[in-house]
């Protein structure tokens, strides 16, 4: 089994099958990065309103970017078994995909003993939820989907990119 393949054992369960926080105290501190995405599907008119800042609640993408960054910083408070992490950097980007989709990408970087996958996923999710909240008055049929990890670097399992079948070199 390569380092990038999961062991099949759930590390958040103790010997009796009870939930537990994983001990990371003995792991080395390494540079880590995770990138995640989410996609909002909406009416074409909603995407137009977002892009020309024509919604009554204001600058949708600016507010959603700040919400995503804040969410990444608070992931340890939201997900019960996540460690609270000190993040070095968080970025949230928006990629309009006309006529009716908005792709959101969040990237998180840190130096730590555990990865930032959950922080990136939470950032992308909360940014998407914020867009929904700010646009729901004009489009209640929006959907949020395809929330997924795109890439991670650092730690024992090295560099992983969605869609690749083997571990990639981080050189």
Which are the catalytic amino acids?
Answer: 133
Alpha helices in 2-148 (DSSP H): 44-51, 60-73, 75-78, 117-135
80: Cβ contacts below 8 Å, ≥ 6 apart: 19
Question: What is the C-alpha to C-alpha distance for residues 86 and 81, in angstroms, rounded to an integer?
Answer: 16
62: Cβ contacts below 8 Å, ≥ 6 apart: none
Question: What is the C-alpha to C-alpha distance for residues 120 and 149, in angstroms, rounded to an integer?
Answer: 8
């Amino acid at each position: 089994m390569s380092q990038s393949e999961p062991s099949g054992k759930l590390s958040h369960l103790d010997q009796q099958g009870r939930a537990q926080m994983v001990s990371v105290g003995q792991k080395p501190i390494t540079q880590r990065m995770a990138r995640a995405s989410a996609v909002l599907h909406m009416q074409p008119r909603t995407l137009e309103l977002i892009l020309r800042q024509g919604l009554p609640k204001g600058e949708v993408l600016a507010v959603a970017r700040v919400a995503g960054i804040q969410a990444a910083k608070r992931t340890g408070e939201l997900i019960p078994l996540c460690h609270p992490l000190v993040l070095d950097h968080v970025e949230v980007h928006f990629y309009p995909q006309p006529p009716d989709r908005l792709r959101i990408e969040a990237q998180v970087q840190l130096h730590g003993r555990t990865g930032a996958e959950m922080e990136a996923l939470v950032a992308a999710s909360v940014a998407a939820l914020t867009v929904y909240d700010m646009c729901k008055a004009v489009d209640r049929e929006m959907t949020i989907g395809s929330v997924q990890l795109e890439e991670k670097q650092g730690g024992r399992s090295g560099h992983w990119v969605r869609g690749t079948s083997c571990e990639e070199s981080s050189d």
